[in-house]
Amino acid sequence: MAFYEQPIHPKPTTFLSKYMISFDHKVIGKQFLWYGIFFLFVGGLMALMIRWTLAFPGVPFPVIGKALFPETGGVIPPDTYAMLFTMHGTIMIFYAITPILIGAFGNFCIPLMIGARDMAFPLLNMLSFWLAVVSGVILLGSLFTPLGAAAGGWTSYPTLSTLVGSPGTGQTLWSLAIFILGASSTMGAINYITTIITLRAPGMGYFDMPLTIWGLWLTAILNAIFLPVLGAGVLLLIFDRVFGTTFFLAGAAATSGSGDPVLFQHVFWIFGHPEVYILILPAWGIVSDLLAFFSRKPAFGAKATALSMTTITILSTLVYGHHMFTTQMSPLLTQTFMTLTMTISIPSAIFFANWLGTLWKGSIRFTSPMLFSLGVVFVFGLGGLTGLYLGTVTTDLYLHDTYFVVGHFHYTMAASVLLGGFAAIYFWMPKMFGMMLSEFWAKVHFWITMVGLNGVFFGMMMVGYAGMHRRLYNPFVYEFMQNMIPMNKMITYSAYLMGAAQLIFVVNFVHAIFFKKEKASDNPWEVGTLEWTIPSPAPHYNFDKIPVVKCGPHELGNPNLTTGRDFQYQTENLVEA
Amino acid sequence: MTLFTLMMSSAMAETGKLGFWEKLNPPVDISTHGHLIDWLFNYTTALNLFFFSLVCAGLFGFSFLYRRKRHPKPYYTYGNKKPQIMLATVIGVAVFVGIDMNITRMSNNDYIGVFTNWPSESEDILRVEVLGQQWAWNFRYAGKDGLFNTDDDVVTLNDLRVPVGKKVVFQVLSKDVIHSLYFPNARRKVDAIPGRLTRLWYELTKTGEYDIACAEMCGTYHYRMQAKLTVYTQEDYDNWMNHAQEHAFQTNDPENAELFWGWAWQ
């Protein structure tokens, strides 16, 4: 199937060419992983500060508060609070989840799982990472500008994000950082799409690809189509801020001519709704594979799962209007967007049924990747179903911009994607670094994280239903919200619990990479996809000889096998009765 | 169970406050149509609970039944047999018809039939113009002449007073950034956008004092953009209005351009 020869160049020898400006997809994947974990830490710390303010308004932030906010004696000031939630959202979405799921595992898994020696465009791949670094530096740098970082929410709606509402350089730098990151992700996306189409090993049809690859592929397609839309939007925003145009200014704010602030919302959500699926599709793919691997039977209805994900990808481009119901669009449009939004649940229900079908009559091993995958099924079930309240226009009139929305999208984007990412890290760790992570501590990590995240995100939905709206520095200035102080404290305690659980992961991860002596075997999980046919960690240029694929990715538990194994590699002929 | 109830009630009696769960009810509904939203929320919750319990039954049930120790030999199937595909399709369609189209239809009927079914001009309605700004709400009543942006307009800051049992129609605009006029007690909100009029109407059923909030991030003091909603009986409202009207006649300065932020009713 491969369209062209894949040459083997000599191994890089210097530190710089080996670890810094490497063209090797495995190294770039690891670079993205570290990058993502670093930003996950930054964004997580910001989340804890936000939660602290909501539970204990006016109380100094413990330990580091005095050093960070000396003027107020450690209390987080209201303008900083706005910067914190803006940067938390931006960092988590664009700088933590995207690099981990798409950057790290996209780069690492795609060539290995389709039997290629590297990406189609290794140079572009390297550039994609370093552009992301430039973008990250600009974003973090914006925190140190005189008026501080962007503070208009991660959606940065004009006119708040124009000079009318945010005079500082922070918002301009934010837009610039997003623009550059968009370019970086588009480069990655083009690379993924091309690699998957042209470099699949001989014999590998699209439905012989693991579902992980399906998820990453569909994500890349959405990225390539919709990130440029966001890029256009923030570019116009930069024009409004720097060159005095009025694309998004209207009313008294527009000194000449008149634009429309709602235009930005359209542009933003045309990108923004697919973005939700950009983040979750890789996790869905990974979970679909892992459920099959650890139930020791083929993925139930794998073709239907792949096609359902494709259908969702297409539908995701047609529903963005449900983010804008309160801007009062015409009832004809609300009707259309509402109905289209609801159709997404058909494919979703089908692959949920397939996930449960995979578990049905399996022989389930509760390893750490499996636990995290089962966790995804649980939290995505909750996250998906609570989306219904927000897709129907009348309940959205009440719930829009309340904590119910915050809880809902954290369940779908944060909880599901994070658990999926951890499943991937625990699963591919041996192939990436040649070491296994401690199973015991992985399970401890899982259970504490589950308790913490459900406490946080379910709690958010409850206070949201009780009427607490978003982005409030001190919600308790409202009389009716004073009832919610205990619940907010509970959410905050859960958040700190969840944060603490991540330390277990960090220790486990760092220990395995730098201090563990014992090497992992080539195929510790006993599965048959192509990356497990080669040594651990994956060698230079992956495959000595390009493999020839003869069967599907989930050949487990075949009763006709006589090899003593309960699985077969994709390079083996399917054993039939 | 009884012990638990006893403890709960005694704890509540001691503090004289609401229990933990009661504090998480939405604020009291004071509008004629807020119950439509509450009802749809509860209905969706019931359907969601049903389907989520199916998911949980599968997830936890299969995890228990088919764990390695209990079920060492997996059943080798691709899940592409006809009955299996049928089952997945039936589930998909059941969710779509059972929940989605069901609540979409109801929500759509409510939206078109009630929430965007604007009271006609001939009805006896109260018209209020709302201007959002960082970080306050301005309200404008037409005054005696029934025309907006004239000398006799009653203009208030963060203080909305409306009579019970009368349809109130708002036209909403913003001066600077996007705000969102949010009435938690009426379960309603609408964005206030610079350069674009939006509308909202409701009819209130309970007198008293309630909160009005801004629901859209509008800058540092977004959380302080709070207004009071006072719901009067018609009689009290008329008294207040007469008084406010007198006051407006005396204090409104026609030379003050700031006063004329209103617009012709549309």
Q: Quick one: pLDDT band at residue A1, thresholds 50, 70, 90? A: very low
**Coil, strand, or helix at residue A290?**
helix
Q: What confidence score (pLDDT) does residue A505 get?
A: 95
Give the one of A160, A462, A486 whose C-beta lies nearest to B178's C-beta.
A160
Interface touch A477/B87, C-beta < 8 Å: no
Q: Alpha-carbon distance A217 to A196, whole Å?
A: 7
Q: How far is A494 from chain B (nearest CA, A)?
A: 17
Tens of pLDDT along A351-378? 899 999 999 999 999 999 999 999 999 9
Interface touch A342/B76, C-beta < 8 Å: no
Interface touch B187/A301, C-beta < 8 Å: no
Q: Does A255 score more than 70 pLDDT?
A: no
Give the one of A361, A392, A401 whose C-beta lies nearest to B74's C-beta.
A361
Q: What confidence score (pLDDT) does residue B11 get?
A: 43
B108 contact residues in A (CB cutoff 8 A): 334-335, 338, 393
Q: Which residue has the tokens 């996950």?
A: A40
- Two structure tokens written together for A47: 């989340």
Tens of pLDDT along A414-448? 999 999 999 999 999 999 999 999 999 999 999 99
Tens of pLDDT along A294-313? 999 999 999 999 999 999 99
Q: Does B14 score more than 80 pLDDT?
A: no
User: Which positions ≥6 away from A291 have C-beta within 8 Å?
Assistant: A299, A355, A358, A359, A370, A373, A374, A377
Q: Does B10 score more than 70 pLDDT?
A: no
Q: Which residue has the tokens 């160049």?
A: A9
Q: Quick one: pLDDT band at residue B12, thresholds 50, 70, 90? A: very low
B183 contact residues in A (CB cutoff 8 A): none
Give the one of A159, A304, A484 whose C-beta lies nearest to B23's C-beta.
A484
Instruction: Judge if ipTM > 0.85.
Output: yes
Domains in chain A, CATH or no CATH each: 12-533 (1.20.210.10)
Please report, rounded to a whole number, the percentage of residues in chain B having pLDDT higher than 70: 93
**pLDDT (mean) for B47-71:** 93
The residues pairing with B229 across neighbouring beta strands, listed in sequence order, are B160, B210
Q: Does A69 score more than 70 pLDDT?
A: yes
**pLDDT (mean) for A552-571:** 90
**pLDDT (mean) for A279-284:** 95
Q: Does B2 score more than 60 pLDDT?
A: no
Q: How far is A92 from chain B (nearest CA, A)?
A: 19
Q: What confidence score (pLDDT) does residue A480 get?
A: 87
Q: Quick one: pLDDT band at residue B252, thresholds 50, 70, 90? A: confident
Beta strands in B79-184 (DSSP E): 125-133, 136-141, 154-157, 159-163, 167-174, 179-183
Q: Does A517 score more than 90 pLDDT?
A: no
Interface touch A395/B89, C-beta < 8 Å: no
Q: SS3 for A537-574, per residue?
A: CCCCCCCCCCCCCCCCCCCECCCCCCCCCCECCCCCCC
- b/e per residue A519-534 (b: at least 16 CB within 10 A): ebebbebebbbbbbbb
Tens of pLDDT along A198-215? 999 999 999 999 999 999
Contact (CB, 8 A) for A109 and A212:
yes
> A42 or A255: whose pLDDT is higher?
A42
**pLDDT (mean) for B30-44:** 93
Q: Does A389 score more than 90 pLDDT?
A: yes
Q: Which of A82-91, A375-384, B146-155, B212-221 has the lowest mean pLDDT?
A: B146-155
Q: Does A153 score more than 70 pLDDT?
A: yes
End-to-end CA distance of chain A: 28
Q: How far is B78 from chain A (nearest CA, A)?
A: 5
Q: What confidence score (pLDDT) does residue B7 get?
A: 43
